[in-house]
Amino acid sequence: MSATATNQGSTGRLLTAEEVAEIIGMRVDYVYALSRRGQIPHLRFGRTLRFRAEAISAWLGAAERGTLGRST
């Protein structure tokens, strides 16, 4: 098994802001604004943002259910 396959298996695919913008159908500056406000799950590596594909899927699911920002 390659190192890439091992890394993807344990952490999932990391998306760029551009990829997230395409997925949600919004502009990339909106994705950056959401991350600055802490309204979208993201990882920061220095000045670079990445988004776990699984976290974005869960975030979209919460938005569909109307549960974003609510405490349980």
29 belongs to a structural domain = yes
At residue 11, the pLDDT reads 62
50 belongs to a structural domain = yes
Query: The domain containing residue 41 runs over which residues?
Result: 13-65
| Tokens 């890394």 belong to residue | 7
At residue 8, the pLDDT reads 47
- Contacts for 44 with CB less than 8 Å, ≥ 6 apart: none
User: Per 3-state DSSP, what percentage of the chain is helix, strand, and coil (rounded to 5)?
Assistant: 55, 15, 30
pLDDT exceeds 80 at position 72: no
Mean per-residue pLDDT of the chain: 85
* Number of structural domains the chain divides into: 1
pTM over 0.85: no
2 belongs to a structural domain = no
33-62 pLDDT per residue, tens: 999 999 999 999 999 999 999 999 999 999
Q: What CATH number should be reported for the domain holding residue 46?
A: 1.10.1660
5 belongs to a structural domain = no
Question: Which residues, in sequence order, are bridge partners of residue 15?
Answer: 51
